[in-house]
Amino acid sequence: MGGGASTAASTNGTKPAPKRSMFATKREDCQILVVGLDNSGKSSVIAWLKSTSGKGPSNKASATASTSAPLEVVPTVGLQLEEFSRGSVNFKFIDMSGQSRYRELWGSYFREAQGVLFVVDATDRLRMAVAKDELRLVLNHEQVAHRLNSLPFAFLANKMDLDGAVDSIELAVLLGVDEAFQHPWLMVSTCATTGEGIEQAMSWLTEKISASTSCP
Ligand code: GTP
């Protein structure tokens, strides 16, 4: 079996999250990009979030009400936009397909993004180097490189339920995410089919976004 839920996080000097999120009292819009290689579980993560948001299932993925039942998803072609509310926050998730021929579509979305969910198939050791290259591409993007403190990254070491999954600490090493990583970051082991770990990642991400000036 893959490792249990584990977490690694940035220790850089970003300002601490407030005790109470500014999202708590009024509805806010929040744009989060979901990035990762194909088959990493991006659509499944969004489907789980949507299935637990109190609204209907995703257009792309059919999610059952039970969080323990597998979610049916199909490969993303190009970009997939999902908008829904969770609590007092209106989320706009953009699932950016990991298929390389669509990467030129990324630019305008990074400009508007307030946070990034970077999803990795933690069992796919063969493609860890590719995932690392993908992360480099994102970090070097002109709309990302100048927002070091205001664009938080939540990394999901997904498919933790499967044999051979690396845990979040090992994944941080494999991706080269360490003290030198210049964005606020958190690395969480997740299972997108049950939702394990996703709430933790989202809570951290929304706190970071609300603490920054990039969310109205
Ligand atoms: P593209 O659309 O090709 O970019 O893929 P994606 O990153 O959106 O992956 P998707 O959510 O389509 O998931 C790919 C496959 O992995 C599907 O069969 C999912 O059911 C499965 N999957 C996703 N997350 C998990 C997980 O945490 N555990 C297990 N066991 N399977 C998962």
Best of 35, 39, 50 to mutate for ligand 1, by most ligand atoms within 8 A of CB? Answer: 39
What is the pTM assigned to this prediction? 0.82
> The domain 7-11+28-210 is classified under which CATH number: 3.40.50.300, 3.40.190.120, 1.20.120.1770, 3.30.300.10?
3.40.50.300
Find the mean pLDDT for residues 38-65: 70
At 83 the three-state DSSP class reads: strand
Residues, the chain = 216
CA atoms 27, 32, 38, 42: torsion sign: negative
Of all residues in the chain, the percent with pLDDT exceeding 70 is 71
pLDDT at position 88: 76
pLDDT in tens, 7-44: 777 654 444 444 444 444 456 788 899 989 989 999 99
Q: What is the pLDDT of residues 66-125, one digit of tens each?
A: 344 445 565 666 677 888 888 778 888 888 766 556 667 777 788 889 999 999 999 999
42 ligand 1 Cβ < 6 A: yes
Q: Is the CB of 97 under 6 A from ligand 1?
A: yes
